[in-house]
Amino acid sequence: MPDALVRKTATGGRTVALTFDDGPSPQWTPQVLALLKQYKAKATFCMLGPNAKANPKLVKEVVADGNRLCDHSVTHDEGIAKRPLSRIKYEITTAHDQIVAAAGPGTKVDWFRAPGGDWSPQVRAMAAGYGMRSLDWSDDTRDWQRPGADKILATAEKELRPGGIILMHDAGGDRAQTLAALKQLLPWLVQQGYSFDFPA
């Protein structure tokens, strides 16, 4: 049986792991990176293979800033767990290779995150076979629904636990609300005594 899903930070305690899905996006990712730098925060970017391939400079910038990479598949198929093994393999391994090619040889992609959290033992085993842990989350901001920055922030604050993994998006549509929420979330986390970590 593959390892359990990762839903906590590497060090635990009063730490938090920020994760951003569906990028990189030339419009939104640089703005996320600028905010992270401002608060000396690091994050994990769960990238779609084709987006990484289309934006290699941006992928390199994400890595150069000290952030980490996660494979989020090729097509964002939210039914990945029900697909034949050959399709699962394509989604996971092709995206992994596209991300590494964009980032530069030898770059590590530590995690795979199933689109929509659609996990199965087969999906997790395929990721593990490629040297990746299966990354889930504990705090879903539901920013993709675009409910307004205040609501995104309130959800993040309400669901947060020490050692938690926060899910947000830096691509896949208009992310102005996510950015506005992040501008308030980062100082709030610092004020609450949290430090920034990576997933386990």
User: Residue 1 pLDDT more than 70?
Assistant: no
Span 93-104, mean pLDDT?
99
User: Residue 176 pLDDT more than 70?
Assistant: yes
Q: Write the secondary structure of 125-145 as one string of H (helix), E (strand) and C (coil).
A: HHHHHCCCEEECCCEECCHHH
Which helix or strand (DSSP H or E) is residue 177 part of? helix 176-191
Give catalytic residues, as residue numbers. Answer: 21, 169
φ, ψ for residue 191, nearest 5 deg: -60, -35
For the chain, percent of residues with pLDDT exceeding 70: 98
Give the tens place of pLDDT for each residue, 185-200: 999 999 999 999 999 9
Residue 50 corresponds to which tokens in the numbers above?
């084709």
Give the tens place of pLDDT for each residue, 21-55: 999 999 999 999 999 999 999 999 999 999 999 99
Q: Work out the pLDDT band at 4, boundaries 50, 70, 90.
A: confident
User: Residue 98 pLDDT more than 60?
Assistant: yes
Structural domains of the chain, with CATH: 15-185 (3.20.20.370)
The pTM for the full model equals 0.98
Residue 171 corresponds to which tokens in the numbers above?
């691509």
